[in-house]
Amino acid sequence: STALYEPGFCYDTPPHISSSSTPDPELSEILYSIPALVFLFFFLHLVSAVMNLFLHFICDILNAVLRSQLMSNGLLSCRLTFAPS
């Protein structure tokens, strides 16, 4: 059994035995990638929700500005307001 070792070196494990605890490296890569995929999914979901809120905010501001511009120019008659005629 000593023929497997090079002389002058102390091995913690024999060289032909893999030091990884999992026997299948592809399975460990898949298991390690699952939390990364879940994190990526939730991160992209959060980014899309923030962008959605931001776009709604911008659109509400533009809607109010354009509505006030059109009403001041007389191009839009707003029938929803209860202003006294």
d(CA 13, CA 22): 15
In tens, the pLDDT along 49-75 reads: 999 999 999 999 999 998 888 878 776
What pLDDT, on the 0 to 100 scale, is given for residue 78?
57
Residue that is written with structure tokens 């091995």 in the block? 11
Secondary structure, 3-state, 11-50: CCCCCCCCCCCCCCHHHHHHHHHHHHHHHHHHHHHHHHHH
Q: How confident is the model at residue 11 (pLDDT cuts 50, 70, 90)?
A: low
Parse the chain into domains and list their residue ranges: 22-54
What pLDDT, on the 0 to 100 scale, is given for residue 20?
52
d(CA 32, CA 19): 18
d(CA 26, CA 82): 69
In tens, the pLDDT along 72-85 reads: 877 666 555 555 55
In tens, the pLDDT along 17-33 reads: 555 554 677 888 888 88
